[in-house]
Amino acid sequence: MATTVFLVRHAAHDRVDRVLCGRMPGVGLGEAGQRQAEALARRFACEGVDAVWTSPLQRARETAEPVAARLGLAARPSDALCEIDFGAWTGQAFDALRDDPRWRRWNEARGSERPPGGESMTEAQTRAAAEVERARAEHPDGRVVLVSHSDVIKAVLAGVLGLPLDAYSRFEVSPASVSALAVWDGGGKVLSMNEAAAP
């Protein structure tokens, strides 16, 4: 028996690619993101999904809720799917971070570095992978949507693919994209990666 796990990155907000929002409160979807969330709801309407779990951050909840509503489910919050804690970098513009040598080291060595006062990508990978396993245990042979964040999803995918976390930049996880896994007791494989829902 295998569980199909759909890893969904939250839809777009107005600060994407400009600000490292991290766990900032009050970051909701923009107009484009709301349209993407509705497209995701249509995409999953015929998938026979058993559960929708979501990061507790606003942008993830606003992505998960239309999907869950379309399926007649409640979106269940999961701290394990939350964004990486970027510590002192939270809320900073990417343009400002580019001059920080610690930022360069973080992006060159994701497997060993950590944001100042924050969480390592290894720690994020451990908690998110445990949540994937929890989804498998609760829904054996079922289908579960997990709404999370780019780096967290990349960490899970890297683990399933047997890649080091330093390879995180070799693949893309776009806003509102879907990456699918098949997971079973003791193993798993990637079925698809970074698929966009039809508009």
CATH of domain 3-196: 3.40.50.1240
- What would the DSSP string read from start to end of 32-93? HHHHHHHHHHHHHTTS---EEEE-SSHHHHHHHHHHHHHHT-PEEE-GGGSPP--GGGTT-B
SS3 190: strand
CA nearest 85: which of 127, 34, 37? 127
Both structure tokens of 175: 């806003």
Supply the pLDDT for residue 1: 87
Supply the pLDDT for residue 69: 98
- Please report which helix (H) or strand (E) contains residue 189, including its range: strand 187-196
Give the residue ranges of the chain where pLDDT is below 70: none
